[in-house]
Amino acid sequence: MLPQMSHATIKNEYLGDVSVSVEGNKRSKQQLIESLVEKCLEKSRFQSWDVVDAASLKQCITNSKLFSEVAVEVKQPEIHVSIKERWTLIPVPMAYATNGKRSVGVFVFDSNLLGYGKTVGVGGAASTDGNTVSLFYLDPSVNFSDYTLRMFAMASSTEFDAYDQTTIIYGFNKREERFSFSPGYKITPSLEMSLSFNYADKHYSQLDQYTVPEDYWAWNAGARISYSDTDYKLFYNNGLSGQIEWSDQMQRSDSGRRISTTTARIEWDILVFDKHALQFGLNAANQSDATAGDVSMFGRTRGYRGIQPNGLWTSEIVAGSVDYQIPVAKMKHGTITVAPFADYGAYKPFFPGTGSNYTAYGIGAYYFVNIINLPGIGLQAGVNEHFMGAFVAFQIGMAFGPR
């Protein structure tokens, strides 16, 4: 039996009527593939049929991360797309363990909801520090338009500890319920602006002899501008991306000052040779009038490796990272890499006398899975003298994969 094939016609500013034929889409809707082709043609701005590049269209469609294989054929006036779909509705185990801190959980995740390319996830985790449940929804193209939408809800009960090297110097237990709503608009295929509206209700309880912050709830409003011109390559994202986000507390229930937070992120991945990838990252954050109950907390992820989860408390920080990904084995369903890494951060200490910078370095081994739209498994070993000293970290889930 021949594979089922569907046809439709889209309009392009330069090419006119374009016939799009699709095969292999057992779950993905025809309209989704049409929309991807339409947006890829818009991004590439091909002026005539003789310059339409099938390889460029293939990579652009692959960037959706919905398909494990993509093939494109161009023959005026038709563009034929053949795909092999990834598993997108899956229960994903989430786990990490590092120097006495552990967390296990599961997330039910669908990155192609009902075949329309929307993402929804729900799950929970239990850790040595507490428990968390969360729900999120991401629509990268509302009704296949240039509008976007993000929603997130979370409830947690967690212990937070501040560290000076391996010594806990302050901490508390926090129970929090949080909700955020963020509509956006893609000005260009690479540039997006969005607004954000957030509500958080925080309750604190005493840990050991430390004083407890005051309970309160707050409404936040903010804005984000993000840029992404990258090509997805499973274990790295070739190109440049970045984001600047600002948020301000519009109302809070206690007598504390309203807090304003600005964060920035830049990531640049580049192919060096023989599919080796050099990955650079730069993160910065600035927070006004932060108290112990509100101060930003960092740890565990790129730029902050060798720091206990949420172990570095600061209102000002700049952190950089570099990873050198070396693929060592390619298998049917994924790729194994090893990667030396180094992180450096400079910060304003929230607790006087607890240092102002750190360096971390080491090596990681990772398995990136091609048949699902999620990062895979990672193991890192390294040194961060100012925080954990020598450390080993194991992760299943989101923290180690391409950003």
Q: pLDDT, tens digit, for every residue of 292-330?
A: 999 999 998 999 999 998 999 999 999 999 999 999 998
Q: What is the mean pLDDT of residues 346-353?
A: 93
Asked if 5-85 and 91-329+341-358 have one fold, the answer is no
Evaluate if residue 1 carries a pLDDT over 60. Answer: no
397 falls in which pLDDT band (50, 70, 90)?
low
Digit-coded pLDDT (tens) for 352-384: 888 899 999 999 999 998 877 766 688 999 999
Digit-coded pLDDT (tens) for 127-159: 878 889 999 999 999 999 999 999 999 999 999
- Which residue from 285, 358, 360 is spatially nearest to 323, judged by alpha carbons? 360
- Which residue from 391, 396, 388, 371 is spatially nearest to 380, judged by alpha carbons? 391
Q: What is the mean pLDDT of the chain?
A: 91
| Residue 96, pLDDT score | 74
Q: What is the mean pLDDT of residues 120-125?
A: 89
- Quote the CA–CA distance of 134 and 157 in Å, as a whole number: 12
Question: What is the residue extent of each domain of the chain?
Answer: 5-85, 91-329+341-358
| Residue 267, pLDDT score | 97
In this structure, how many other beta carbons lie within 10 angstroms of the beta carbon of residue 159?
16
Digit-coded pLDDT (tens) for 242-282: 999 999 999 999 888 899 999 999 999 999 988 899 999 99
- Quote the CA–CA distance of 303 and 280 in Å, as a whole number: 10
| The CATH number of the domain covering residues in 91-329+341-358 | 2.40.160.50
| Residue 5, pLDDT score | 66
109 falls in which pLDDT band (50, 70, 90)?
confident
Topology of domain 5-85, CATH: Ubiquitin-like (UB roll) (3.10.20)
**DSSP of 338-369, one letter per residue?**
EEEEEEEEEEEESSTTS-SEEEEEEEEEEEEE
Model confidence, pTM: 0.89
| Residue 14, pLDDT score | 83
| Residue 2, pLDDT score | 40
Helices 30-44/54-62 angle, 10° precision? 120
Evaluate if residue 403 carries a pLDDT over 80. Answer: no
| Residue 9, pLDDT score | 87
| Residue 4, pLDDT score | 57
